[in-house]
């Protein structure tokens, strides 16, 4: 079973979900803007991705530009920022077991199928 941290308004997120469905994979959809991951969930996602928190920050978002641009935050501080402002979380993130990928490009999800 795959889990996708999904934003239905995002084209890349929709494309990634379509690839999952076209490959007949069971999928749990988490609309992370409504069901915001906790700090511990984000830490677990980052571990599965093999990335640091700053690497999954959406730097084009107005909330980033207004509040975080040019700041040198720790991993913990970035995680707190993402919990407080989930729009900062890069999307989609797809998880299978102990591995996760960013769906940018959407074809990255094929590594989990």
Per the annotation, the verdict on 42 as an active-site residue is no
* Phi then psi dihedrals of residue 3, to 5 deg: -125, 130
Catalytic residue (one of 5, 8, 10, 65): 10
Sign of torsion over alpha carbons 38, 106, 99, 112: positive
> Which residues are designated catalytic?
10
């Amino acid at each position: 079973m795959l889990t996708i941290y999904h934003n239905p308004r995002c084209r890349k997120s929709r494309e990634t979900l379509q690839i999952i469905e076209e490959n007949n994979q069971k999928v749990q959809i988490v609309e992370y803007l409504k069901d915001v991951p906790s700090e511990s969930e984000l830490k677990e996602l980052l571990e599965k991705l093999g990335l640091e928190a700053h690497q999954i920050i959406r730097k084009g978002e107005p909330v980033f530009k207004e509040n975080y641009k040019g700041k040198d935050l720790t991993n913990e501080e970035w995680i707190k920022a993402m919990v407080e402002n989930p729009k900062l979380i890069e999307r989609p993130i797809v998880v299978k077991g102990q591995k996760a990928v960013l769906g940018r490009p959407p074809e990255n999800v094929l590594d989990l199928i």
